[in-house]
Structure 1
Amino acid sequence: MKTTDVTARLAGLGGAKWEVHIKARALAAAGADLIDMTIGEPDVPVPQEMLDRATAAMMAGRTGYSDGRGEMNLRTALATDYTRRSGREINPDQVLCFPGTQTALFSVMMGVAQHDDEVLVGDPMYATYEGVIRASGAKMVPVPLRPEHGFRMQAKDIAARITPHTRALLLTTPHNPTGAILTAQDLAAIGDLALAHDFWIISDEVYADLVYEGAQFASPLAQEQLADRVVVVSSISKSHAAPGFRSGWCVSSKVFCDALLPFSETMLFGNQPFIADMTAEAVTKGSPVAAGMAARFAARAERLETRLHAQTKLRVHRPKAGMFAMLDVSLTGMDGFAFAMDLLEKSGVAVMPGASFGESLTNWVRLALTIPDDDFDKALTRIITHVQQAAAVPA
């Protein structure tokens, strides 16, 4: 039987990018001595008070159908939070709730782009971005994020790729996988292009609460002149160490949210009321775990850079936020995929090839900063020993 065009557009995406991760899991299941640095998940459990709130809400009967926009208590909490964050007045009608950032991003993309449109996105990028763009029927147009600019997207690189078909720019700030943060000046220059060429800015800000000390987060939502063309997506998955609860949202203009609502309601109806109650309280009180995670991830990134720079010739890109660090392995004479496989098979450390996130990272690998300190330090020792033994990179 024939399937639809969308299945053809998405063919080949997904599993192939995770070959090293899948092999690592198989080796671990077979009993191999393995340290897995491929996937970034919070390094703490869901806060107990959130579990208690969700349980109490279920026991109180908050298990029925949801408001299609999302429960009013959650939308009110988010509106208050984004008013504080942006310095602009955001009201509950400017919020739609979804089961996680991924669903929010998919829905938003379906609302702004379609066949024959083009969507600009930074390269490297989060692994699912190509899929959500292709699903809409639009063409993905990569914009290189260059190491010499700290992997921050540059307005001139965007401008060089704008065409009459450009309908949206998908940003991630703080960025996955590089941990780069766009500055207010970066966003102002990008906003000028959006105004001049009439395209949307979609800003994935799921790591906004995992910014390291000394760095500062900025959002295009704070720019009043962009109010009718910015859509922010986020969730509690990272900030509150709750990825399994699948509680996310988008924030934009009321006009956009009203237009997107029928699509959202066709696919789903908000999020579960008991999860909404938990999320509303979590957003209102703030995260009890985000600051600790950010401090631990920053400390691990510092140790990674210090040890590898002192004992090898490899270059670490120091992140400013998030759960990952990037390692340039080009001096080994191998690309990122070959290095990751070699490291896995010979030294028992699993990292992600950079090419899984875009062609610009062909010679890089991504390392998760989320594993316990003892395992992290052991992994660094194994990586250093592995590199020192490679003839192309003498110690």
Structure 2
Amino acid sequence: MKTTSITRRLADLGGAKWDLHTAARERLDRGEQIVEMTIGEPDVSLPDALKRSAIDGLEAGRTQYSNGRGENGLREALAEIYYTRRGRRFDRDNVLCFPGTQTALYAVMQGVAEVGDEVLVGDPLYATYEGVIRATGAEMVSVPLKPEHGFRMQAVDIEARVTSRTRAILLNTPHNPTGAILRPAELEAIAEIALKHDLWLISDEVYEDLVFDGNSFTSPLALPNIADRVIAVSSISKSHAAPGLRSGWAIGPRAFMDALLPVSETMLFGNQPFIADMTEHAIRAGSPVAAGMRHRFARRAKYLADRLEAETALRVHRPEAGMFALVDVSPLGMDCDSFAWALLDKAGVAVMPGSSFGAHLTHWVRLALTVDDVAMTQAVDRISEFARSVSVAAE
């Protein structure tokens, strides 16, 4: 039996990137004492007020078909909060609602690229970006995010890769897996390239509410000179500890949203009204859990970096936001995959090899900061002992 070209384009983008995570889960199920630092889930439960809101919606019968664009109340709440945060006026017709950031990004990409086109994206990158680009038939073109620039995308590196086939630049700020935040001047320079070459600028901003103290976030949506070519995607998955409820959105020019509406309606005719009501409540009330998460994640990142850099040859890229930290394992003479598997086998700590996030992290591993403080201490103890044992063996 034959399948379509999209299945072939995505054939090598399956679960292999998560083999180590899967192996760690199997060992946990067998009763092994594994500290799991592979994936980023909020370290708190869904807030009670949101649970109550969703239940109230169910009890009120809010389970009918929705508006294809999403519920009006939610779209109006999003327009208001984005006006407050970005300093530009939006209305509900600037918004389409989706089940999570991933679906929003998939739909938006369908609206900006197709077979024969190219989309520029930073490398390292979130694991699904290549898939949403390839699904359109376009090719992903990697822009290296270099440690010497704090893993922040640089305009000169973008410019060097723009061709006549380029249609869009995909940004992720704050960034997964590095925790980097693009500076206003860097965004301005990237915006100039988008204007010069008539490119769309797509911004994944799901970690906006997890910016650590002392850092600040700027969205390209706040730049008025490129207002007609910026689409942002986000959700309540991280900010409100609600990843499993799948509630996200895209916001951008009304003309683009009007054009994208049939794509959205073909995928999913509107989001679930009771979840939309809960999300509206979340947006209007603000998050009761984001501040605690960002303080804990920042504290754990500092603890991790301070100890590993004092006790081992390892070096840590200190994140500015998000749920992860990167550790450079090259001083041990190991690549990311060898280090990660050996750490799991010998020390019982599961981390993600950088190779899961592109071609430019071959000597880095990603650690989730979402484990509790006791597990973090245990993990750092084990990593430190393991790294010292590798250094001794190499002498």
**TM norm structure 1:** 0.99
CA–CA separation in structure 1 for the residues paired with 2:393 and 2:220: 42
Q: Deviations over 1:262-286 (max 9, x none)?
A: 0100110121000000000110111
Corresponding residue for residue 51 of structure 2:
51
C-alpha displacement of 1:19: 1.0
CA–CA separation in structure 2 for the residues paired with 1:296 and 1:9: 40
Q: Deviations over 1:1-40 (max 9, x none)?
A: 0000000000011211011101101111111110000011
Contact 1:388 1:394 in 2 (8 A): no
Contact 1:313 1:393 in 2 (8 A): no
CA–CA separation in structure 2 for the residues paired with 1:100 and 1:393: 47
Corresponding residue for residue 200 of structure 2:
200
3-state DSSP class of the match of 2:203? strand
Corresponding residue for residue 372 of structure 1:
372
Corresponding residue for residue 112 of structure 1:
112
Corresponding residue for residue 190 of structure 1:
190
Paired residues, what number? 395
Corresponding residue for residue 283 of structure 1:
283
Q: Deviations over 1:184-212 (max 9, x none)?
A: 11110000000000000000000000000
Corresponding residue for residue 81 of structure 1:
81
Q: Which residue type is aligned with residue 177 of structure 1?
A: P
C-alpha displacement of 1:391: 3.2
3-state DSSP class of the match of 2:31? coil
Corresponding residue for residue 247 of structure 1:
247
Corresponding residue for residue 217 of structure 2:
217
Contact 1:54 1:274 in 2 (8 A): yes
C-alpha displacement of 1:334: 1.2
Corresponding residue for residue 346 of structure 2:
346
Task: Output aligned runs, 1:1-395, within 5 Å.
Answer: 1-391=1-391
3-state DSSP class of the match of 2:143? strand
| Structure 2 residue ranges without an equivalent (≥5) | none
Q: Which residue type is aligned with residue 262 of structure 1?
A: P
CA–CA separation in structure 2 for the residues paired with 1:394 and 1:367: 24
Q: Deviations over 1:350-395 (max 9, x none)?
A: 0000010011000000000000100011000000000000136889
C-alpha displacement of 1:312: 0.6
CA–CA separation in structure 1 for the residues paired with 2:393 and 2:104: 44
Taking only aligned residues, the RMSD between alpha carbons, in angstroms, comes to 1.0
3-state DSSP class of the match of 1:376? helix
| Residues 1:190 and 1:60: Cα distance change in structure 2 (over 3 Å) | same
Contact 1:332 1:393 in 2 (8 A): no
Q: Which residue type is aligned with residue 331 of structure 2?
A: L
Contact 1:297 1:323 in 2 (8 A): yes
Q: Name segments (4+ residues, structure 1) moved above 3 Å.
A: 391-395
3-state DSSP class of the match of 1:228? helix
Q: Which residue type is aligned with residue 250 of structure 1?
A: A
Q: Which residue type is aligned with residue 52 of structure 1?
A: R
CA–CA separation in structure 2 for the residues paired with 1:336 and 1:19: 14
Q: Deviations over 1:311-362 (max 9, x none)?
A: 0111100000000000000111110011000000000000000010011000
Contact 1:333 1:392 in 2 (8 A): no
3-state DSSP class of the match of 2:115? coil
3-state DSSP class of the match of 2:208? coil
CA–CA separation in structure 1 for the residues paired with 2:188 and 2:233: 19
Sequence identity percentage: 63
3-state DSSP class of the match of 1:359? coil
| Residues 1:110 and 1:392: Cα distance change in structure 2 (over 3 Å) | farther
Q: Deviations over 1:37-89 (max 9, x none)?
A: 00110000000000001100110111100100000000000000001111000
3-state DSSP class of the match of 2:360? helix
| Residues 1:392 and 1:233: Cα distance change in structure 2 (over 3 Å) | farther
CA–CA separation in structure 1 for the residues paired with 2:33 and 2:374: 14
Contact 1:177 1:325 in 2 (8 A): yes
CA–CA separation in structure 1 for the residues paired with 2:71 and 2:393: 56
CA–CA separation in structure 2 for the residues paired with 1:222 and 1:228: 12
3-state DSSP class of the match of 1:389? helix
